[in-house]
Structure 1
Amino acid sequence: MSNFLYLFRGGDENFNKLSQEEKQAHMQVWGKWMGELQEKGKLLDGLPLAADGRVVENRGEVVTNGPYAEGAELVGGYLIVSANDLDEATEISKGCPIFDYEGSVIEIREIVDMEGH
């Protein structure tokens, strides 16, 4: 088993156009999906990210309000899931509610065990 990071990109613009009731209903869909993953022992962690932040470059010589990315490129949240391999992690991601909003992307990356290197 390995751990995989899902980086969620985009979807915020379309989500923000929803009514409060639609947003609440969609958050329930997220809760159900994540709850099912947790019951199966697949979900390890995950949270949304604030829209604002900072970008630090050159050992702190350059600090800008960020992130740089806009719209579909902005990372809005993450999950850490446990899967046998990248193929299983990809299959798990296909049920994610982020795809309810056009232009949303999940980047999947294996979390490497530094002790093994």
Structure 2
Amino acid sequence: MFVYRGGCDEMENASPDEMQKVMQRWMDWIQDGMKAGWLLDGGDGLKPEGATVNPDLSVTDGPFTESKELVGGYSMVQAENLAAAVELAKTSPIIHHKGAIEVRELANVGQPEEA
């Protein structure tokens, strides 16, 4: 799984033409990954608003993190191993916008083990 963080700061002042170019870069990257078979789900972006349910069941508005730390979206990928997934992450458009990608392997809890 790719978890996208940051990369939004410079887009706040982007022109409509610049925004269109960024969106096209993302669409091309997603399409290429799907065709190649390593991108299982292009995922989606996340809106900045949200809520946090705390252990005492109280609910607070949030998340309130710095924009560079804010989780902005995700994608589901398939790779031979973590190192291969990291190499795929390096091709993501978010890298061009000073964002970061957290690359995580799913634990597959509750899934039958492959023989």
TM-score (norm 2): 0.90
Task: Say whether 1:41 aligns with 2:37.
Answer: yes
Task: Say whether 1:22 aligns with 2:21.
Answer: no
**Distance in 2 (alpha carbons) for counterparts of 1:50 and 1:32:** 22
Task: Say whether 1:79 aligns with 2:103.
Answer: no
TM-score (norm 1): 0.89
- Measured after TM superposition, the shift of residue 116 of structure 1 is 5.2
Mark the runs of 5 or more structure 2 residues left unpaired by the alignment.
none
Aligned length: 111
- Measured after TM superposition, the shift of residue 68 of structure 1 is 2.7
Structure having the higher helix fraction is 1
**Structure 1 counterpart of 2:97, one-letter code:** Y
How many percent identity over aligned positions? Answer: 37
**Distance in 1 (alpha carbons) for counterparts of 2:56 and 2:28:** 42
Task: Say whether 1:108 aligns with 2:103.
Answer: yes
Please list every run of at least 4 consecutive aligned residues from structure 1 whose deviation after the TM superposition is greater than 3 angstroms.
none
Structure having the higher strand fraction is 1
Pairwise CA RMSD: 1.4
